[in-house]
Amino acid sequence: MSCSTSKTSSASTGTAPPPQSSTGTGRRSRVNVGRKGCHLNLKYYHEYYVYRADSDWPSLDQLESPPTPVFHREDVGLLPRPYGLYTVASLMDIGRDDVYELQLYHSDTQTWTTRQVSVEPQQWDPLPKRIPKYCGSLLRHYSSAVVTIGGEGGTMAWVDLWRSILLCDVLRPDPSLRGVPIPLPLTQMSLNDGLGVKLDFAAHSRAISFNRHKGCLMLVHLERNESPHPIHAASRGLCGQDLQVLDWEVTTWSNSKMSHSLEDWHEERCVRASNITIDARMLEVSGLPCRPPPRDHSNDEAAAQAQQQLEFHNLSMCQPALCPNGEDDVVYLLAREKYLHPKAWCLAVDMKNQGTLKHVAYIGNQGHPFCHRIFCLSRISKYTNPKMRLIATEPVKYRRIRASVDKQESNYQAGAVE
Residue of 385, 250, 260, 259 lying closest to 323 (CA atoms): 250
Does the pLDDT at position 163 exceed 60? yes
Q: Quote the percentage of the chain above a pLDDT of 90.
A: 47
pTM (two decimals): 0.80
Q: Identify the sign of the CA torsion 182, 186, 188, 192.
A: positive
Please count the other Cβ atoms lying within 10 Å of the Cβ belonging to residue 118: 12
111-121 per-position pLDDT tens digit: 999 999 999 98
102 against 15, higher pLDDT: 102
Q: Which of 49-58, 295-304, 370-379, 396-405 has the lowest mean pLDDT?
A: 396-405
Residue of 59, 158, 43 lying closest to 112 (CA atoms): 43
Beta bridge partners of 277: 356
Please count the other Cβ atoms lying within 10 Å of the Cβ belonging to residue 281: 9
Does the pLDDT at position 390 exceed 80? no
Residue of 204, 185, 145 lying closest to 344 (CA atoms): 204
pLDDT band at 301 (very low <50, low <70, confident <90, very high): low
Does the pLDDT at position 148 exceed 90? yes
* 125 in Cβ contact with 118 (< 8 Å): no
Residue of 120, 119, 128 lying closest to 183 (CA atoms): 128
Does the pLDDT at position 225 exceed 50? yes
